[in-house]
Structure 1
Amino acid sequence: MKQLYPFLAYRPFLWLLLIVNILGTAYGYYWYDGQLEQTPSIFLAFVPDSPTASLFFVFVLIAFLWGKNWPLVEALAIVTLIKYGIWAVVMNLLVLAVTGDLGWLGWMLVGSHFAMAVQGLLYAPFYRIKWWHLAAASVWTLHNDVIDYVFFMMPRYEVLNLYMQEIGYFTFWLSIASIFITWYFCVRPGSRQYDL
């Protein structure tokens, strides 16, 4: 794994990843357009979960290209990339299980969201997250769960409406797992750190 780090820090690759994430983020916000039009303004920041996660990572990549670390943004990025990357994969596979069909767009969402989670983890050794950064990211993430499943602002998968309680329960524990994974790879004593 250590042999991969020079490639991950290679500036042309960082630029390529930045462009891909900007395009993916823009598409993600476009995907939420209809739901955002019907969302009360107080909840707007908490509705487009996946594009906001990739937007955090866009800022992480910009900081890396400037030779800097923005630990709070890194914490927000890794926790939300893991959480919403895995969440969207599971939701789309659940759509497949319920309907028997996913279509090319669904499989594209599976692949792109899986890549979100992977990129968040791959760059973990380059982050400089402290416990208070992770605490702030945890509050954001768990607060988002409350907004989604108490105020019903979650991403809309209408074929899954019958399973909202189970999805909310799964999402809460996925948040906890993402926070723990971030602690394990970035914050715990002895976690590996590499310079860009």
Structure 2
Amino acid sequence: MSSVSWLWSRALLTNKSFLWLLFIVNALGTVYGYIWYGDQLIETYDHNPAWQLIFVPDSPTASLFFTLALLYLLFPPKRELKGPAKWLRSAIEALGVVTSVKYGIWAVAMIIAGAMKGTPMVWENYMLIVSHLGMAVEALLFTRFFAFGIAAAFGAACWLFLNDMIDYSYYVYPWLPQVLDDILPDVRNFTVGLTLFSFLLTVLALRLAERSRGLK
């Protein structure tokens, strides 16, 4: 095995020490993400119905689901899960992958779009680009180790479509660089299209994982 391919090998990705490192990094990133959304959450609470709060923090909720999904790899069930426990695992893992792919790409796209329209790039922008790209990449890399299928991925995509509808109907989408306010319809269309793209990319990752297992 080459040194490059080792970076996405089962031996590394399922190593307990590496999984714990990834769990800690994602957990801290999730906490940081909710803090980042603090002002918007307060404003939403002050001016909108409370039920809309859940639709505000997109990226940290995605990383929260992925962090929870890692627990199934760190503490594998001693026997096969059935019924509600199986459905819960599938839902958490599917949401962790599909939402992380979407919002990982979305955040990077919005930062770059803002920069192209004149928003100055500061160190936080570069940090967010790296961390959000990491969200998307890790989600796709770990798809093969999770237990969810296409049906659960479709359910996660439906949640994202609902989130898109709420975001742009009630204006609780993540705060954008100000220079993007005048192209909000384009941002909305891109966001909805990215939901579909993230679902299809997840399906592709699942198919590749099935094919890889079939070749063994």
TM range (shorter): over 0.9
* Match in the other structure for 1:23: 28
CA deviation map 1:143-184 (0-9, x unaligned): 011011121110001331111100000011110000011112
Distance (whole Å) between structure 2 residues aligned to residue 193 and residue 147 of structure 1: 39
Q: Tell me, yes or no, if structure 1 residue 53 matches structure 2 residue 62.
A: yes
Structure 1 residue runs without a partner (length 5+): none
1:178 counterpart (198, 205, 215) = 198
Post-superposition shift, 1:100? 5.0
Q: Tell me, yes or no, if structure 1 residue 164 matches structure 2 residue 150.
A: no
For structure 1, which segment, 133-142 or 20-29, has the greater mean C-alpha deviation from structure 2 after superposition? 133-142
1:189–1:103 Cα change, 3 Å: closer
Distance (whole Å) between structure 1 residues aligned to residue 204 and residue 212 of structure 2: 10
Post-superposition shift, 1:188? 7.8
Q: Tell me, yes or no, if structure 1 residue 146 matches structure 2 residue 165.
A: yes
Which residue type is aligned with residue 53 of structure 1? A
CA deviation map 1:88-136 (0-9, x unaligned): 0000011111115211011111111001001001101112222321222
Moved over 2 A (4+): 187-194
Bigger-Rg structure (1/2): 2
Distance (whole Å) between structure 1 residues aligned to residue 213 and residue 164 of structure 2: 30
Structure 2 residue runs without a partner (length 5+): 78-85
**Equivalent runs, 1:35-184 vs 2, <5 Å:** 35-39=40-44, 40=48, 41-68=50-77, 70-99=89-118, 101-157=120-176, 158-184=178-204
For structure 1, which segment, 63-72 or 27-36, has the greater mean C-alpha deviation from structure 2 after superposition? 63-72
TM-score by length of 2: 0.84
Give aligned-pair identity as a percent.
38
1:190–1:18 Cα change, 3 Å: closer
Asked if structure 2 preserves the Cα contact closer than 8 Å seen for 1:185 and 1:192, the reply is: no
Which residue type is aligned with residue 117 of structure 1? A
Q: For this pair of structures, how many residues does the alignment match?
A: 194
C-alpha RMSD of the superposition? 1.9
For structure 1, which segment, 127-136 or 116-125, has the greater mean C-alpha deviation from structure 2 after superposition? 127-136
SS in 2 for 1:144: helix
Post-superposition shift, 1:20? 0.3
Which residue type is aligned with residue 179 of structure 1? F
